[in-house]
Structure 1
């Protein structure tokens, strides 16, 4: 534990249009004195085609001992999280944890890296855990459930904005091709982390994530 008493950790049918088939017939008169040949009225009969069925959406399947998660939807950052405001910062913090959950379920940490600074101390163990978990197997669990996020939106001396997030987290189980490997404890009681972020070039970036209260 540091001198501040704060331990750093981690925790996206077309419908086919059927054209109308126009059927027509014409006949000429055999009377040479006729002023003009008359055509019987032609009839138009649109063809009918069955309505195409919607493209089925792949069903999400969480990870288990039988295999990794399937068809995990990529989280989409809400528009509010792209605004430099108190509400925008809170929305960004919630999205940050969604990106972390996506990493646990897929092994893809790029969405989190895109919104985190290169020196984010708490991010490093998260990347390492996910990388090792998917190197020869997969991860089940570890999902973070955000209970609340709040911020005073006050700016620190270093120009950062701070947001507190209260959450719980499932235990994380690592499986390999040969079976179970290990379990990393979660927390049933809420923990609190602080994200220090800056808004630049039209987006928020989490420079650091610090645990300020860890459940026993």
Structure 2
């Protein structure tokens, strides 16, 4: 899938799920590449039903480091779950309340989402968003459903080739535009049968709101730019 440039996006006004914040954001964006899959009811990124995906040539989502598990990494396939998946490690830059820190955090946030997609373990990813992020909660539910009763997901990997922080000095809530590409996701039951129909790949633009607290950055709202 071709890589998109935010410079070529059409200007649109998008109201992200940020009623609690009482704000809306003028963003540039478009839905490009392959047709979108089934998005969350409230404009969430991927894995909310439980994962939608898109193949693409965007830069892979990757933290600055990862905890190396014992054993050889094996991605999930039709025969079984992923094995020995490296755990993303938060880079020091992502702990800073700066424009660069926000971008590093966003990449880490999606890296943790990738880990949850591959393993079903969202214990770290789920604490990186606030209770007010309704889209995040829908993604959490989708991830949980994907691994209930021995099920698993194959594919669905996310990449974020473009992140454009809309930094405002001194603001309590910072904003960013993010291009999110996700590979096709396939679902399997414990016995190896098809768990649900595969979800096609997507290439979408998202608006993200984040707050910096004593514990660090947290996603407070997320929505598709239509």
Assess same fold via TM > 0.5. yes
In structure 2, list runs of 5 or more residues that go unmatched: 1-12, 17-41, 47-66
Considering Cα pairs closer than 8 Å and 6+ residues apart, tell me whether 1 or 2 has the greater RCO.
Answer: 2
1:148 pairs with one of 153, 162, 179: 162
Corresponding position: 1:77 with 2:90: yes
CA drift of 1:57 comes to: 4.5
The TM-score normalised by the length of structure 2 is 0.67
Task: Determine the C-alpha separation between the residues in 2 that align with 1:68 and 1:183.
Answer: 17
1:148-193 superposed Cα distances (whole Å, 9 cap, x missing partner): 1111212697x310111112101221110231121352435x3111
Q: Check 1:119–1:142 CA distance in 2 against 1; reply closer, same or farther (3 A cut).
A: same
Task: Determine the C-alpha separation between the residues in 2 that align with 1:183 and 1:143.
Answer: 17
Corresponding position: 1:64 with 2:77: yes
What is aligned with 2:130?
117
Aligned length: 166
Extract structure 1 runs of 4+ deviating beyond 2 A: 3-7, 183-188
1:9 pairs with one of 40, 44, 61: 44
Say which SS state the counterpart of residue 113 (structure 2) adopts. Answer: helix
What is aligned with 2:196?
182
What is aligned with 1:41?
none
Task: Determine the C-alpha separation between the residues in 2 that align with 1:202 and 1:57.
Answer: 30
The TM-score normalised by the length of structure 1 is 0.70
What is aligned with 1:167?
180
Q: Max radius of gyration: which structure?
A: 1
Task: Determine the C-alpha separation between the residues in 1 that align with 2:200 and 2:134.
Answer: 20
Q: Check 1:161–1:210 CA distance in 2 against 1; reply closer, same or farther (3 A cut).
A: same
Q: RMSD of the TM alignment (CA)?
A: 2.2
Q: Check 1:208–1:98 CA distance in 2 against 1; reply closer, same or farther (3 A cut).
A: same
Task: Determine the C-alpha separation between the residues in 1 that align with 2:215 and 2:123.
Answer: 19
What is aligned with 2:139?
126
1:29-60 superposed Cα distances (whole Å, 9 cap, x missing partner): xxxxxxxxxxxxxxxxxxxxxxxxxxx94111
Say which SS state the counterpart of residue 128 (structure 1) adopts. Answer: helix
Q: Check 1:171–1:156 CA distance in 2 against 1; reply closer, same or farther (3 A cut).
A: farther
Say if 1:172 and 1:183, in contact at 8 Å, map to a contact too.
no
Task: Determine the C-alpha separation between the residues in 2 that align with 1:100 and 1:59.
Answer: 21
In structure 1, list runs of 5 or more residues that go unmatched: 13-55
Corresponding position: 1:194 with 2:215: no
Say if 1:69 and 1:105, in contact at 8 Å, map to a contact too.
yes
Task: Determine the C-alpha separation between the residues in 1 that align with 2:118 and 2:206.
Answer: 21
